[in-house]
Amino acid sequence: PPVTTARALLLIADTGGGHRACAEALREELEYGDRMTGIIVDPLTGPGVSPPVRWLFRRYGPLVRVAPALWALLFHATNHSLVRPVVEALITRAVRRPLADAIDRHRPEVVVVLHPLLVAPAARHRHGRVITVITDIGNPHRTWWHRSVDEYVTPRPGLPRHLMNQRGTREHVFGLPVRRQFVASSAVPDRSQLGLSPERFVVLINGGGEGVRGTGRWARALVRGKADVDVIVICGRNERLRGRLSRLEPRPGRQLLVTGFVDDIATWMRTADVLVAKAGPGIIAEAAALGLPLLLAGSLPGQEAGNSEAVVRGGAGIRVSSTRDLLARVTQLSARPDLLLALHLAALRSGRPTAGALTADLITNPKENP
Ligand code: UDP
């Protein structure tokens, strides 16, 4: 058991997979060497939150899978400067009980916020220091920025001017924390244990924690297409997709592996030569930590706008615009080790595998403000 009693409350929502993955990365770093205990709490979809708000947040998965345009509408409407205070007030009220319960129960020294809509409630029900870790890259929602936050950890600079000029608020551009499975082990898994050929090119497909729309289309195109590749699909929490893809018949001699949500995704990523994914910030940071080349086949409207461009600019991935384009790129990469190596090196250069350790340092050691 940890020898220290100092605690950090890590606030997330189980929408997508990125917020929880980042919180787990921080918990691992905090508890490594028993520096602090990390407690992950989801006040938005868990018990105690007011029913309409919980209902809404529990529908995030189906919403981004079935109607991403409607999600885009919600994102942009709530991102307006006039609407923002209303949204913040509503959510602050809705999560008052679960947040107060968590604070009373754990008496944390630090509250770390990893979801934009929990920043205002954490600032309002302030207990100890408040640190916000931004889990978005391209287009963070404006509710991330709040004047009562002490420290910001961000994947790229973005602190608005009014906060920059305010005494006490600081921004640390550490990158997006990734779990230790992406940092600590470098062993390459044995493909034959998964029934995969050691020689054939392996394509891994993932549409985020929710298995967004498009994932099935990318998988079917590759499984039925001419490229001589083995395919692994990680469907996340999308059980329907998993069921449908499990019935696909690959061409003779080729392999298809389909799984639901996996906790050891780094092992699956180390097995693959290339990753086909939506431009989620979590998977982008993880692929970079491993040096795994990315083919970006889609992105969520709203917070993920601009993510693909950032990856392409860094040389760590290629954006594909259609399933035809996807097939052409996979065929090209499987025949061009030089191109694959260039992507691999650029991905490693853009990776920030120490982001978690640096953020844990900040959480455990309060720094004097200049
Ligand atoms: N993930 C995972 N297991 C799975 C599917 C996804 O651990 O089976 C993780 C993935 O490694 C990443 C996160 O879920 O850390 C997805 O985050 P991202 O920001 O890419 O997209 P989101 O799902 O939040 O939209």
| Under 8 Å between Cβ of 221 and 192 | no
Residue-averaged pLDDT of the chain = 93
| Under 8 Å between Cβ of 129 and 109 | yes
What does the alpha-carbon distance between residue 235 and residue 229 come to, in Å, rounded to a whole number? 19
Atom of ligand 1 at shortest distance to CA of 22? 15
What does the alpha-carbon distance between residue 133 and residue 352 come to, in Å, rounded to a whole number? 14
Check residue 4 and give its pLDDT: 58
Ligand 1 pocket mutation, candidates 265, 276, 286, 299, criterion most atoms within 8 A of CB: 265
Please give the residue that has the higher pLDDT: either 178 or 56: 178
The model's confidence at residue 370, banded by pLDDT at 50, 70 and 90, is very low
Ligand 1 pocket mutation, candidates 206, 242, 261, 303, criterion most atoms within 8 A of CB: 206
| Under 8 Å between Cβ of 277 and 312 | no
Check residue 296 and give its pLDDT: 97
pTM, two decimals, is 0.95
Q: 1: which residues sit within 8 A by CB, 6+ positions away?
A: none
The model's confidence at residue 140, banded by pLDDT at 50, 70 and 90, is very high
103 lines ligand 1 (CB under 6 A): no
208 lines ligand 1 (CB under 6 A): yes
Does the pLDDT of residue 187 top 80, yes or no?
A: no
Does the pLDDT of residue 77 top 90, yes or no?
A: yes
DSSP secondary-structure letter at 369?
P
Q: 289: which residues sit within 8 A by CB, 6+ positions away?
A: 178, 182, 183, 351, 352, 353
Check residue 196 and give its pLDDT: 92
Check residue 188 and give its pLDDT: 81
The tens digit of pLDDT for each residue in 262-273 reads 999 999 999 999
Q: Is 129 helix (H, G, I), strand (E, B) or coil?
A: strand
- CA 9 to centroid of ligand 1, rounded, Å: 21
The tens digit of pLDDT for each residue in 18-43 reads 999 999 999 999 999 888 999 999 99
Average of per-residue pLDDT across 303-330: 96
261 lines ligand 1 (CB under 6 A): yes
The model's confidence at residue 165, banded by pLDDT at 50, 70 and 90, is confident
The answer to whether the complex's ipTM is over 0.85 is yes
17 lines ligand 1 (CB under 6 A): yes
- CA 112 to centroid of ligand 1, rounded, Å: 20
